[in-house]
Amino acid sequence: MDSFLIEGGVPLKGEVLISGSKNAVLPIMAATLLTAETCVIRKVPDLSDVGFMAKILRSLGAEVSLEGGTLTVKAEKLSGFGDYELIRKMRGSICILGPLLARLKEARVSLPGGCVIGTRPIDLHLKGLQALGAAVEVDSGYVRVHAPKLDGQMVFLGGRVGPTVLGTANILMAATLAEGVTVIESAACEPEIIDLADFLNAMGAKIHGAGSPTITVTGVKELHGAEHEVIPDRIEAGTFAAAAVATGGEVILRGARPDHLGAVLDKLREVGGVVTRNAGSLTVRGGGVLRPVDITTMPYSGFPTDMQAQLMAVACLAPGTSIITERIFESRFMHASELMRLGAEIAIEGPSAIVKGGRPLSGAPVMASDLRASAALVIAGLAAGGKTQVNRVYHLDRGYERMELKLQALGARISRVPGE
């Protein structure tokens, strides 16, 4: 397995182009299954998760090509039975369930996997599909759904920790070909849901209210091919912004959408960063005295759970006590023990991490446990003295496009060490 070798202590300076959004492109790729016509998606990031999803679409019978950030899919011939081994490895693969049910009236997929960050059940997905008229069976690691037809209904997707993003995507896609009107209440409001709805509308769907808690979908008989450009990745932008603050650098985030980053930018300012909006970009500067911060992860537009680990790395550098509370996933503090290997002082008390910051970090070998934890360890390594080796960076390759090359262009002393 590959690792990153980092020699820290260098402020990041320069410009980085933000890639297309991982969390937006995976549901959009699944949505191409709703039509037999050709779909063209642009600004597709070069990620292992995208490659996995492309393999899944091919295993279902779709013709898929990806070249130079442009994805072309034609799902003229389609099977509703997904490859067990492929699907179970990636959480985002569950997004094929709604499109397959809508188009073929049945589907069978394996229960999905992904990062080990706590229980992420799909009960709300299945509840929503049942509300539209589907019969659901879960057996031997598979989910099977079937329905002679889908009927528009009121669907409530509120869960224990708020709306489900992938569940909203699944019901949204299934409802496009249902008869009548579907109203999704307590829908996820993330920008990625808006991007999916924009693509579906370009295909001929009739969706109103995406980005609000209530989405209305008027079903149509069929969808057609369309072209679409994926939104910038707000988590990648937030990660590079956090790295700029942590290293006392100054980074221009080309293509970043400040309207998607409100809570993240607010906390970066609070911790001591300076954020400037420019036409088509953001500039984030560190270098001042860092301050402790209190953070609680929440559904959008609150502070995103996908930025919790990265801000914890910054908090480790800020003198004083920061409190970081995780309300979305119950096992998303696995990076804390690895940050402690670098010299951080962190105590976990229930859903909160108590970070006593300001101690100098020093390089050490650390192990990445999941995608965003990997990013946090890279940020800490960039700020630490000496050399840090971040192992198992295949997690990073799932969600960050050529991260080490982008950091090198900003002056970071970082290299990829091929695994055996």
User: Which of the residues are catalytic?
Assistant: 115
- Token code pair at residue 390: 């971040």
CA distances from 222 to 146, 244, 387 (A): 18, 47, 56
Residue 407 C-beta-side C-alpha neighbours within 13 Å: 31
Helix intervals (H) in 262-307: 262-271
Q: How far apart are CA 236 and CA 372, in angstroms?
A: 10
Using DSSP, state whether 176 is helix, strand or coil. Answer: coil
Q: What share of the chain is helix, strand, coil (3-state, %, to 5)?
A: 35, 30, 35
Q: What is the DSSP string of 104-172?
A: HSEEEEEPP----SS----HHHHHHHHHTT-EEEEETTEEEEE-S--B--EEE-EETTEE-HHHHHHHH
Cross-strand partners of 186: none
Q: What are phi and psi of 299, to 5 degrees?
A: -60, 160
Question: Residue 411's closest CA among 5, 75, 7, 2?
Answer: 7
Give the residue carrying structure tokens 């080309």. Answer: 254
Instruction: Please give the helix or strand (H or E) that residue 403 lies within, else none.
Output: helix 403-409
Using DSSP, state whether 173 is helix, strand or coil. Answer: helix
